[in-house]
Structure 1
């Protein structure tokens, strides 16, 4: 095959593939074991996940199904609630790894959205909901935390 024709065909294939963005709705089912590097707030943490042998990725993970008070609060009550939720999440994680599953890219500001389970098998969202530190969240507009 003529090298120019090969170049044109490869270029056309590359353009065709580039025009199709990856769907944010696709899930990577996992689970993937991850180390918790930092708890950012009551529903988000920085994780380092081993995705392939010798290859780790650092990513902010938003826990599916919950909404926590924001650290950048609109009132003192929200800030205090945000600190309680963040601290409880850190205690729940402890020193062990977590398992993240049903991982999806989404609208969450560079984070992934995932189900998270502690090293001893506890569903993180369920525990935080049970302790009334967070609210259920399925997307859409969130309720405020300031009265």
Structure 2
């Protein structure tokens, strides 16, 4: 009797997990077409919620790294670098706020953030940052000083 209960509970848990895994496989990049901005860390990193995803732990406060650009860091460096970092952060905050944000071609970076092409109102955030001299082209690897 006790063994049957344990078996029944184990099968129930297995079915529940499998149902969530199967459901998660149906999540596509379509789900990243309208994300909600939570906060901006710096010019090339921000956090979003993905409203079309119904598994909260995987869909809220997700760190996003903008592919193809490197902006000055908020911490460390010279006062001039910090001032440029604040400018890049403000620019990214302004361009993302109250805008339609689309995340495309997402993968994971070495810090487990989503590394994405970010499109805002049909414009590349990467290109806008570079065009406004707030970041430099960057595709991974060792940074040049």
What's the TM-score once normalised by structure 2's chain length? Answer: 0.73
CA–CA distance in 2 between the matches of 1:51 and 1:110? 21
- Evaluate the alpha carbon distance shift between residue 34 and residue 142 of structure 1 in structure 2; reply closer, same or farther with a 3 A threshold: same
Contact 1:35 1:96 in 2 (8 A): no
Q: What residue in structure 1 maps to residue 95 of structure 2?
A: 92
Q: What residue in structure 2 maps to residue 63 of structure 1?
A: 66
- Secondary structure of 1:69 counterpart: coil
Q: What residue in structure 2 maps to residue 110 of structure 1?
A: 112
Root mean square deviation, CA, Å: 2.3
Question: Cα offset for 1:51?
Answer: 4.3
Show CA shifts across 1:43-89 (max 9, x none). Answer: 0001111343x445121000000001000021111100100000011
Aligned length: 118
- Secondary structure of 2:85 counterpart: helix
The runs of 4+ residues in structure 1 deviating greater than 4 Å are none
Structure 1 residue 81 corresponds to structure 2 residue 84 = yes
CA–CA distance in 2 between the matches of 1:77 and 1:129? 18
CA–CA distance in 2 between the matches of 1:135 and 1:29? 30
Contact 1:29 1:103 in 2 (8 A): no
Show CA shifts across 1:85-142 (max 9, x none). Answer: 00011111121231101110120x2311001111x21111011110010000011111
* Unpaired stretches in structure 1, ≥5 consecutive residues: 1-27
Structure number with higher helix proportion? 2
Contact 1:29 1:102 in 2 (8 A): no
